[in-house]
Amino acid sequence: MALSISQKIIASHLVSGEMIPGSEISVKIDQTLTQDATGTMAYLQLEAMGIDRVKTEKSVAYIDHNTLQSGFMNADDHRYIQTVCKKHGIYCSKPGNGICHQVHLERFGIPGKTLLGSDSHTPTGGGIGMLAMGAGGLDVAVAMGGGAFYLIMPKIVGVKLTGKLPKMVSAKDIILKVLQIMSVKGGVGKIIEYYGDGIKTLSVPERSTITNMGTELGATTSVFPSDEITRQFLASQGRENDYTELLPDDGFIYDENIEIDLSSLVPLAACPHSPDNVVPVSELAGMKIDQVCAGSCTNSSYADMQKLAAILKGNTVAENVSMTVSPGSKQVFAMMARSGALADIIEAGARVLECACGPCIGMGQSPNSAGISLRTFNRNFEGRSGTADGQVYLVSPETAAASAIKGVMCDPRELDVEINIINPEKYDINDNLIIPPAENGDDVEVVRGPNIKPFPVGDALPKSIEKPALLKVGDNITTDHIMPAGAKILPYRSNIPHLSKYCFEAVDNAFPNRAKAAGGGFIIGGENYGQGSSREHAALVPLWLGVKAVIAKSFARIHKDNLINSGIIPLTFKNPRDYDLIEQGDVLCLKHIRAEIEKGENVNIYDKTKNMKIELLCEISDRQASILLAGGKLNYTKGN
């Protein structure tokens, strides 16, 4: 039987199940990555499972999110991560070494391997032919301990690329076009694979821009072949021995097909407040802007930085614009300095930030009130920038730089600039900020700061639950809505009680007090509930506040898994129109919930306020049912 690239990787790593779309499978994980906003919790969970030494081929902890040290909290968490890594066999990338996805691509990613990361943009690794997937920290902790990763076998969507990109059109415009076609929920339950002659014109950094932002489709992951271009990239990183050719079999038939002629693409922009709200830049030309932020794990490669520098060289950022640039890694930053690109960017008036996520997660550089910010990032969710009414547009590096000079949204094709970026035959390699683990972890003392608090653990599922509907929200609620990021909140990622004060802050700031006063309850949601970041805090904090179940029209994959792992029941309306029947404040009763979960039956919920019954679905596997019955994955893992 002909197989696709991802099917070949799954087949070679399959632990349980059959590769039938829609059925549960589990796969062996070769590599893991964490970042510091999710890593502290993941390592606390690893310790709670009693794992002495990780069982993966390579596990790496990156410190790239909480690098603003305005108090002791972040610095303490960094010290904890560094020491726990030293003890348990994990490599640690220190602050300043770069963004996890960029560095992992450069130094650790291997074609044909599986990678599980506690960050939703882990699919960046698909740019070199990995099966790279985002997950909650507990799933990553289990994988580090040698456990398999469970997922629903996805359908395979083929995106055929033909032709060649025109001048001033880039890989960012390719993925924006895919988002325009598929939407932010069009990739749910699917893997996106790219093929066709057009991929031969794209470098590994360009491919990784596309797989990185493929996360916004809701896809399980995105994958490019591992071919001669992949070999050249790995050779340039001094890692040619890691190369393996990986191509789809001749005659493989994709479940769905999309075809994009690269030569027909134009510069695109995703308008507020969704990555799929895409229009041509030409339709926005002349719109006054306030800020430009370049970088992030989507567009911070050496080639992207060189494009920025080439456009900015000899020009000045407009007086009405504040511009920042975040290189993706120390490698990129150092090579920019040696090439002169850094000087060109500085002389143009851009503010160069450290090699970290920074503005992408609201960690500084929030725009002014109602400010229009152009960003080469992957998300423009409402409030994510740190400014509640900020208007964020997602664009390519070319559009960002051209607009920064003009002071208004500008189609970069209007500039008379020749850009001819050639990827280096050899990148500068210096891994001195990557700390290897100790040979004997027994000699290492793990250092914990006072901000690290115990994480909540669910109780075994009771026979029945009767609680109020604490909150009712609409479609496409993101994990940023549930548990915001930003400089004010991120330092408390290891302090769930403190974080709870901000749960649903952007939606209803009275929610935490209401939840505590009621002793917990239910959340009612619309379509695609929990899209966005993989942060399991969006499940752990509601658990701490007593949330027993979320009833929605549909769920984003990672968040649904995180809810189950936390012991919160994810339920969907059998008839989506029933969503309209429940109001916030209604008293709801799951009379036979434990028996229904045990037997795999549909769930009936009774609205006691309105005296009516609503039929729900609990679409989970037998394994996930056992996790819910145990009160969460940690209880389940300890008991097995």
pLDDT band at 593 (very low <50, low <70, confident <90, very high): very high
What architecture does CATH give domain 465-638?
Alpha-Beta Barrel (3.20)
Report domain extents, the chain. Answer: 269-413, 465-638
Q: Categorize the per-residue pLDDT at 637 as very low, low, confident or very high, splitting at 50, 70 and 90.
A: confident
Sheet holding 221-223, edge to edge: 221-223, 190-195, 155-162, 256-261
Rounded distance between C-alpha atoms, residue 21 and residue 104, angstroms? 29
- Count Cβ atoms below 10 Å from residue 434 Cβ, excluding itself: 18
- Answer yes or no: are the C-beta atoms of 85 and 123 closer than 8 Å: no
pLDDT per position as a tens digit, 604-629: 999 999 999 999 999 999 999 999 99
Closest to 524 measured CA to CA, from 635, 609, 463, 624: 609
Class of domain 269-413: alpha beta
Strands 278-280 and 268-270 come out as antiparallel
521: left (phi over 0), alpha (psi -120 to 50) or beta: left
Are residues 49 and 141 in contact, defined by beta-carbon separation less than 8 angstroms?
yes
What dihedral do alpha carbons 53, 55, 57, 60 form, nearest 10°? -50
Give the CA distances from residue 524 to residues 472, 473, 613, in Å, rounded to whole numbers and listed in that order.
Answer: 5, 6, 15
β-pair partners for 531: 478
Q: Which H or E run includes 606?
A: strand 603-607
Tokens of 520: 């917990």
Q: What is the pLDDT of the chain when averaged over all its residues?
A: 96
Do 465-638 and 269-413 have the same topology in CATH? no
Q: How confident is the model at residue 421 (pLDDT cuts 50, 70, 90)?
A: confident
* Beta carbons of 221 and 6 less than 8 angstroms apart: yes
Distance of CA 539 to the CA centre of its chain: 15
Q: What is the dihedral of CA 235, 376, 81, 238, to 10 degrees?
A: 10
9-15: average pLDDT: 98
Q: Which of 178-182, 210-214, 447-451 is predicted least confidently?
A: 447-451
The pLDDT value recorded for residue 35 is 96
Predicted confidence (pLDDT) at residue 640 exceeds the cutoff of 80? no
What residue type is 326 in one-letter code? Answer: S
> How, if at all, do strands 24-27 and 149-152 pair?
antiparallel
The three-state (H, E, C) secondary structure of 383-447, written as one string: CCCCCCCCEEEECCHHHHHHHHHHCECCCHHHCCCCCCCCCCCCCCCCCCCEECCCCCHHHCCCC
Q: Inform me whether the pLDDT recorded for 542 exceeds 80.
A: yes
pLDDT for 69 equals 82
Termini Cα distance of the chain? 36
Q: Which two tokens stand for residue 472?
A: 């009712």
Q: What are phi and psi of 590, to 5 degrees?
A: -100, 90
Task: Find the mean pLDDT for residues 426-445.
Answer: 95
Residue by residue, DSSP assigns 86-125 as HHHT-EEE-TTSB-HHHHHHHHT--TT-EEEESSTTGGGG
Q: Give the pLDDT of residue 251.
A: 92
Write down the residue that tokens 């898994």 correspond to.
561
pLDDT at residue 99 in the model:
97
- No. of H helices and E strands in the chain? 20, 27
The model's pLDDT over 303-336, given as tens digits with 9 standing for 90+, comes to: 999 999 999 999 999 999 999 999 999 999 999 9
Cβ atoms of 154 and 220 closer than 8 Å: yes
Residue 376 tokens, joined: 């080469």
User: Does residue 285 carry a pLDDT above 80?
Assistant: yes
pLDDT at 393: 98
Q: What is the pTM of this model?
A: 0.95
Q: Does residue 32 have a pLDDT over 80?
A: yes
pLDDT in tens, 501-527: 999 998 999 999 999 999 999 999 999
pLDDT reading at 260 higher than 90: yes
The mean per-residue pLDDT over the stretch 215-227 comes to 97
- The span from the CA of 60 to the CA of 43, in Å, is 12
* Burial class of residue 103 (count of CB atoms within 10 Å of its CB; 0-12, 13-18, 19+): buried
Task: Tell me the chain's radius of gyration from C-alpha atoms.
Answer: 23
Residue 639 pLDDT > 80: no
Contact 436, 488 (CB under 8 A): no
Q: Is the distance from CB of 373 to CB of 360 less than 8 angstroms?
A: no
Contact predicate 329/64, CB 8 Å: no
Could you give the angle at the alpha carbon of 463 between the alpha carbons of 461 and 465, nearest 5°?
80
pLDDT tens-digit profile of 92-150? 999 999 999 999 999 999 999 999 999 999 999 999 999 999 999 999 999 999 999 99
pLDDT computed for residue 1 by the predictor: 87
pLDDT in tens, 373-396: 999 999 999 989 999 999 999 999
Asked if 188 and 288 touch (Cβ cutoff 8 Å), the reply is no
pLDDT tens digits along 352-369 = 999 999 899 888 899 999
As a whole number, mean pLDDT of residues 250-273 equals 97
**Nearest by Cα to 225 from 182, 255, 196:** 196
